[in-house]
Amino acid sequence: MKHNNHSENDNGNGHPRGNRRRFIPSAFTIFNMFFGFLSILASFKGQYTQAAWLIIIGAFFDSLDGKLARALGSTSEFGIQFDSLADIITFCAAPSVFVYRVWSSDLGLVIGGFFAFFPLMLGSIRLAKFNLEATGAQKTRFIGMPTPMGALCIIGMYLFFSQLHAYPWLHWYPRSSAGDARVALPFVMIISFMLLSKIPFPKFPPFSMHGGLKGNWQIILTVLLMTLVFYTKGFVLLPILIIFIIFGLIVWSQEARIALENKEG
């Protein structure tokens, strides 16, 4: 009888503990995928607020799986590919279903499906390109909007408009905008194309497991922002993300100007 060099219970080095270390970040990836799947089911049932929050919860787990893998020294090609598959479900498929159910279903199956398809199509392309082209330049920032941020922008718009009634100083704003395809679908298209743009975006949450003193204040900032999002029932999520987008556009324009000046010089 032939014997394999390694059993399924070790990590290739004869250490079962290595498998346990790898399972921890993979468990977070599974939770990310699970909540993305639940979001799709919630959208089909017309529970749009729940669907939005399930994507947010998925984003929370997604923000930690890679950090945990690096902290535990358990990064692997499998983990990278598995994370991308989970991201396709939570940040590409779930937002597309959300867009169709909330904003574009009245346009019919083909036209409505066409507009709703963009987050799934361009998000999947971005994830494939990111895995092939990831470089050191993307350690501190992303080139192009990351798919979790794109998904959060889409559901953030819904949460923003759905919470307008809680802020009297915004009562002048028309309430129908959240359900108006003329407002929502162009926004979804812009966000989708930004996934493949050259615009730099800072990484978020902006901390690592080995950040030291700098990492401590970054963790505090992240916790404060997340607390604010939950306290306002998602109302401030879109404004926070728009600030990140504006920051990326400013950096992009400055880098383009410097590159042009150097070329002319």
pLDDT category at 258 given cuts 50, 70, 90 is confident
Considering only residues 111 and 65, tell me which one the structure prediction assigns the higher pLDDT.
111
pLDDT digits (tens, 9 = 90+) for 191-249: 999 999 999 887 765 555 555 545 567 678 878 989 999 999 999 999 999 999 999 89
In 3D, which of 240, 140, 150 has the Cα closest to residue 200? 140
* CA distance linking residue 167 with residue 25, whole number of Å: 39
Instruction: For each of the domains in the chain, give its residue range(s) and CATH number, in order of start.
Output: 16-264 (1.20.120)
The model carries a pTM of 0.85
CA 247-93-160 angle, 5° bins = 50
Answer yes or no: are the C-beta atoms of 81 and 131 closer than 8 Å: yes
Task: List, in order, residues 6 or more apart from 236 with CB less than 8 Å away.
Answer: 228, 229
Percentage of the chain beyond pLDDT 90 is 51
Answer yes or no: are the C-beta atoms of 139 and 80 closer than 8 Å: no
* CA distance linking residue 218 with residue 216, whole number of Å: 5
The type of residue at 217 is W
Considering only residues 77 and 35, tell me which one the structure prediction assigns the higher pLDDT.
35
The type of residue at 247 is F
Answer yes or no: are the C-beta atoms of 119 and 153 closer than 8 Å: no
Answer yes or no: are the C-beta atoms of 19 and 31 closer than 8 Å: no
* CA distance linking residue 256 with residue 260, whole number of Å: 6
Mean of per-residue pLDDT scores for the chain: 83
pLDDT category at 56 given cuts 50, 70, 90 is very high
For the chain, the residue count is 265
3-state secondary structure the chain: CCCCCCCCCCCCCCCHHHHHHHHHHHHHHHHHHHHHHHHHHHHHCCCHHHHHHHHHHHHHHHHHHHHHHHHHCCCCHHHHHHHHHHHHHHHHHHHHHHHHHHHHHHHCHHHHHHHHHHHHHHHHHHHHHHHHHCCHHHCCEEECCCHHHHHHHHHHHHHHHHCHHHCHHHCCCCHHHHHCHHHHHHHHHHHHHHCCCCCEEECCCCCCCCCHHHHHHHHHHHHHHHHHHHHCCCCCHHHHHHHHHHHHHHHHHHHHHHHHHHHHC
pLDDT digits (tens, 9 = 90+) for 4-51: 444 334 444 445 555 666 778 889 999 999 999 999 999 999 999 999
Q: What is the pLDDT of residue 216?
A: 63
